[in-house]
Structure 1
Amino acid sequence: MNVGQRREPLVTTGGAVYEAWERFVQGDDRVLGVRPEVAISWHRCREQYRVDPHLRQAPIAVTEIEHTPEHDGVFAELGFRAASVAQDVSFAGGVVTVTDSTGRILAAWGDPATLGRATEANMAPWFCWSESAVGTNGMGMALQTHGPVLVKGAEHWCRAFHDWTCAGVAVRDVVTREPIAVLNVSCWRSRLPSFAGNWLANAAATTQGVLRQRARNSGAELVAVYTQACSNRGGTTTALAAMDPAGKVVIADDTASVLLGVPASTPALDATVRWNPGLPELISAVRYGCTQAARNPGWVGSTQIFTHLTDEPIPIVIRPVFLSGHLIGSLVSFGDHHEVPMTPAPEESPPPPRRVVATRENRMVLLRLPEVSFAESDGSEVWLSTDQGRLRAASPSLDRLGGELTEAGFLRVHRRYVVNLSRIREIERGRGGELLLIMDDASDDPVPVSRRNAPAVRRALDF
């Protein structure tokens, strides 16, 4: 580590980025010279969160969240790593912070003078640094992004923070992919220490490696509980599956595998290879059950859902599974009945977005929903077929984009495609009987419908 790195003053209030920031906060969408990820964050700050760009201090964190023992372990691990490098960060004139999943700073270490500057802006324990609280910053962007992020000078949304440079990385739950904590390094009017980027990435990767092994162990335990439940069924014909807290399938019997469209009797212990059943109602029900069980370990609930290859809703019962007091998933039985019905969804879904954000070179493109015909996953990127041509989506995940657009007339029809139902012009049948969607756009290629998504398409189009 280069502990004796010389601090070099940074010009943070001039140049193309600052000029773009001045225009953007006044309502102009031109962001020439601004990195796409920063421009997208600015858009969220202005349009969605309405953060005052002239805010001078972070607000106190008022949101109370329940931390699991596993999350407390992550905080302790990151705190140990932050404290161990605090002296090196201090030599570079920086501070290192740890936050929880809401952006609430839990602890801060580093150069006393810089800590004093940070405290003036409330970059201190129990103050909130999420995007929705203070706009674009390292800690807030890390909560929104997969991988390390860097925010320099005028890239910050609030003018009062333009003298800062910061880098952050989120540690995420390997099952749900939701953030648990953020590790961040910040410097005032100086460059980040040369080791900061690699250190952040390695610290997050090491911590997530521990979580990944725990998730695998939990998956193995969930399979063991499922196996025991199968042996206790006797002569009943109830279908059974084991699902993790994110609503992904760990293992399913022959009947359940058909209903869910996943392989039969094949354990998926690793959280990264578990199967997404592609049934939003089921996934929401399982997640709701896990939320309830976390508060009441004895909770069991039932509801009815549509599954693949069924035209009528089928009753299900959700029974949460615990390991050493830690919720690891649920057993879901199909065709079963239970006397305790589930209440409606635990949370109101956020309103559907009014626009979809795309990028073209270094520009941010704001698309009205009717302009988008379909979204396609291509490796690690998502592309949009639009009236303005083929554009790269700002969202890095088709799962996330599809979830946001579900209530806005879009439907997941294939593992690689989400379509705008109002833009479907024709429906064809392929040689093997599969459905093909002809979209109302300039694209000549039909959109395939997977067999497991075909019933949902038929219901949505009423045919």
Structure 2
Amino acid sequence: MPDENRLQRISRESNKAEVHGAWERFVRGEDDVHGVRPEVAISWQRSRDQYHIDPFLTEVPGAPDSQAGYSLDQDVVFAELGFCAAAMANGVADAGGVVTIADAGGRILTSWGDRYTRSVANAGGLAPWFSWSESAVGTNSMGTALVACRAVMIRQTEHWAQAFHDWSCAAVAVRDVVSKEPVAVLNISVWRSELPSTTRQWLERAGVRAQSSLRWRAHDSGAELLAVYTHARGRSRQPLAAVDTAGAVVIADERASVILGVPSNTPALDAVGRWIPQLPALIHAARFATTRARTDNGWTGSTQIFTQLADEPSSVEFRPVFCRGELIGHLISFGAVAGEQFPQAEAGGVLLGQPPRRIVALRAENRMVMLQASEVTVAEADGSGVWLHTDNGRLQAAVSGLDKLEADLAGTGSFLRVHRQYLVNLSRVREVERREKGELVLVMDDPTNTMVPVSRRNVRPVRDALSI
């Protein structure tokens, strides 16, 4: 056993030296990250090229005051994480560590640990009201967890700032089940030692427990939206639907369901089972309405979007729905106009006067399928033909070559040629995998999670387009 422990210690020191060498090269501007884990290398890329963080900074900045103000969901999560952190505090203190909870902006709210470790942590900025977002200090467990979809471990020299190379940290972000935006982050840090291998699993379990409370609250909000919709339906002469704050459909009547491309009169109370409307512009508009209603609880508004049923844009009215003072969603009425008139350009959707771009695909028996650009994740060249990976399977494009399709989609701003054989919808990229020799592979969010290689010459354009 002693020999085995010695070998493990030598292996860790060797890996630490290899990562530190890669860090030194990357700081100098080279892109050689051999031996660095992909999630760390991608975070380094953001720290250096997007956030321009000084790798030799010595002080953690204070958090801006604008991060103050909590919702009920945040309070629920903070309370749950507080119980988890307090339960873990004694074990962490024995290992010379500290447990912290930070908000969605990376601002530490509270910490646990013994007096000595906390004094060291406080000197290093691991204290309340300091900001640990990636945009503030670069790669670190709290900031990187806020942009990741799972628990993150950052070991010593993997930190972007050299001042933190004595710390090993791990964190998990708890995300809102509706918007998928982070609410809080739970972090464990140890000084001049390694975290146990079970740390990630413990953090993920703590995150699941905290998020379960949000799922119940989202279900209750769905039930409240259904009740408000039912009451309004008897008085509405327009197609009517209820959507949550992210634009997912909770319930739609017969006429609205045809416009949205979702089942009619079928409630979806659970956040994970809600219907995604086949109108990307409506999702953008709903999120814009959410932003406006959260700053003005008396706000109503309307805009115009193109639907599949008409050549001219249709008016859509948004009426925010609140429950116990919290915004939970909107009632939307097609053909109605009220409140603030906002253009789709402002909401991030399709510009007025510009119909949605369509892609024509071929199905057996001489049938054509009219696809919206948002329904296509990847276009793949096969000889002179082009195959489309879509939400409804693999279909052959009507165009004769990938170059022609790329030219047709140039105005959408969503498609990028990543390989001579592949054209990718950037808005449908779910994950980016970095392999040992620096190659990138994109994992798409279609039902089969299609994996697309990025050619070496296209790595830089892809990084720039995805801000990684």
TM interval, short-chain normalised: 0.7 to 0.9
What is the Cα deviation at residue 295 of structure 1?
A: 2.3
Give yes or no for contact 1:39–1:364 (8 Å, CA) kept in 2: no
Q: Identity rate of aligned residues, in percent? A: 49
What is the Cα deviation at residue 339 of structure 1?
A: 4.8
Give yes or no for contact 2:139–2:159 (8 Å, CA) kept in 1: yes
1:100-129 CA distance string (max 9 Å, x none): 000000011113222122112211100100
What is the Cα deviation at residue 382 of structure 1?
A: 5.4
Aligned AA (1:145): A
Structure 2 partner of 1:61: 63
Structure 2 partner of 1:409: none
Once the two structures are overlaid, the 10-residue window that deviates more, 149-158 or 66-75, is: 66-75
Q: Measured at CA, do residues 380 and 394 of structure 1 come closer, stay the same or move farther in structure 2, by a change above 3 Å? A: farther
2:132 is the alignment partner of 1:132: no
Q: Measured at CA, do residues 127 and 14 of structure 1 come closer, stay the same or move farther in structure 2, by a change above 3 Å? A: same
Give yes or no for contact 1:142–1:149 (8 Å, CA) kept in 2: yes
Give yes or no for contact 1:12–1:154 (8 Å, CA) kept in 2: no
Q: Measured at CA, do residues 376 and 105 of structure 1 come closer, stay the same or move farther in structure 2, by a change above 3 Å? A: closer
1:265-317 CA distance string (max 9 Å, x none): 11111111112224332112211212222222221111111123332110011
2:250 is the alignment partner of 1:176: no
- Among residues 445, 455, 466, which one is paired with 1:377 in the alignment? 445
Structure 1 partner of 2:118: 115
The within-5 A match list for 1:30-429 is: 30-62=32-64, 64-65=66-67, 66-193=69-196, 195-233=198-236, 236=237, 238-342=238-342, 358-365=432-439, 376-377=444-445, 381=449, 383-384=451-452, 386-387=454-455
Q: Measured at CA, do residues 358 and 300 of structure 1 come closer, stay the same or move farther in structure 2, by a change above 3 Å? A: closer
The root-mean-square deviation of aligned C-alpha atoms, in Å, is: 3.3
Q: Measured at CA, do residues 36 and 281 of structure 1 come closer, stay the same or move farther in structure 2, by a change above 3 Å? A: same
TM-score, L = length of structure 2: 0.74
Distance, in Å, in 2 between the alignment partners of 1:366 and 1:195 is 29
Aligned AA (1:290): T
Structure 2 partner of 1:29: 31
Give yes or no for contact 1:12–1:153 (8 Å, CA) kept in 2: no
Q: Measured at CA, do residues 88 and 177 of structure 1 come closer, stay the same or move farther in structure 2, by a change above 3 Å? A: same
Q: Alignment partner of 1:144: what SS? A: coil
Give yes or no for contact 2:141–2:154 (8 Å, CA) kept in 1: yes
Distance, in Å, in 2 between the alignment partners of 1:140 and 1:380 is 30
Q: Measured at CA, do residues 259 and 19 of structure 1 come closer, stay the same or move farther in structure 2, by a change above 3 Å? A: same
Gaps of 5+ in 2: 1-8, 350-412, 419-425
1:344-381 CA distance string (max 9 Å, x none): 777889x99999895452244479xxxxxx97435584
* Aligned length in residues: 381
Q: Alignment partner of 1:290: what SS? A: helix
Gaps of 5+ in 1: 1-7, 368-373, 396-400, 406-463
Give yes or no for contact 1:148–1:197 (8 Å, CA) kept in 2: yes
Distance, in Å, in 2 between the alignment partners of 1:324 and 1:88 is 39
What is the Cα deviation at residue 387 of structure 1?
A: 4.6
Q: Measured at CA, do residues 375 and 88 of structure 1 come closer, stay the same or move farther in structure 2, by a change above 3 Å? A: closer
Q: Measured at CA, do residues 26 and 353 of structure 1 come closer, stay the same or move farther in structure 2, by a change above 3 Å? A: farther
Give yes or no for contact 1:383–1:390 (8 Å, CA) kept in 2: no
Distance, in Å, in 1 between the alignment partners of 2:63 and 2:115 is 23
Structure 1 partner of 2:22: 20
Q: Measured at CA, do residues 111 and 352 of structure 1 come closer, stay the same or move farther in structure 2, by a change above 3 Å? A: farther
Aligned AA (1:384): V
Q: Measured at CA, do residues 360 and 158 of structure 1 come closer, stay the same or move farther in structure 2, by a change above 3 Å? A: closer
Give yes or no for contact 1:279–1:307 (8 Å, CA) kept in 2: yes
Q: Measured at CA, do residues 146 and 248 of structure 1 come closer, stay the same or move farther in structure 2, by a change above 3 Å? A: same
Q: Which has the higher contact order (CA 8 A, sep 6+)?
A: 1
What is the Cα deviation at residue 394 of structure 1?
A: 9.8
